[in-house]
Amino acid sequence: MSRVVAVSGASGKTGYRIAEELLAAGVQPRLLLRRESAVPPSLSNCEQVRLSIENDCALDQALLGVEALIIATGARPSIDLSGPMRVDAWGVKRQIASCQRVNVNRVVLVSSLCAGRWRHPLNLFGLILVWKRIGERALERSGLNWTVVRPGGLSERESGLEQEGIRLTGPDQQDKNSIPRRLVAQCCVDALETPGSIGRILEITSDKNVPRVALAEALLSAVP
């Protein structure tokens, strides 16, 4: 039987890359999507579940039978400043609660560098970093096997990544620099296969001067 991992926010720029990386690793992604969302042709044969995250029954059904959930939902820039609260805090909490109800014990959450910091320019968008930290804390207290991935500034670049290493630290040790979304996706999938990532907040940026090493090895030198 094939392994199945659910990806919420799977039509997003990071989410669809996570799904592609799961496929590359031989894992079947179950794409959790809004009704109007589109996915790239590379994912057209994947299982797709269209739902509202606010519908608890639909969410429970969508998560039945998966071994893990990767949460890649995130509020989009909008004039609606309540978006970060609804998506990055309450939406994450709903997904965690659903995992608890249907016994999905492994969750990886894509958050953001500087989550929880009040004095940050990104908070002009509905206090987004504050709400992201509230979502993180809900996961930390859930009793599930969790990992939080906090990437730096996200880029769409797909070339030259094989020469680029990930700078990995524990929480609140980085506050700048960027990382391609593809490397974020790879880190999320690697975290699923790395027991040492459980119960850890991983801040990640990338640099060509950082050597490429396996996540398990990088965790050995990262301060928790």
State the Cα angle at 13 between 205 and 199, rounded to 5°.
50
Name the residue type at position 195. P
Give the distance from CA 10 to its chain's centroid. Answer: 10
Active-site residue (options: 11, 98, 112, 197): 112
Q: Burial letters for 129-153: b for 16+ Cβ neighbours within 10 Å, e otherwise?
A: bbbbbbbbbbbeebebbbbbbbbbe
Q: How far apart are CA 27 and CA 47, in angstroms?
A: 12
Best CA proximity match to 8, nearest among 38, 31, 41:
31
CB 30 within 8 A of CB 46: yes
Residue 112 annotated to the active site: yes
Positive or negative: CA dihedral 214, 32, 78, 93: negative
3-state secondary structure of 70: strand
Q: Would you please indicate which residues are annotated as catalytic (active-site) residues?
A: 112
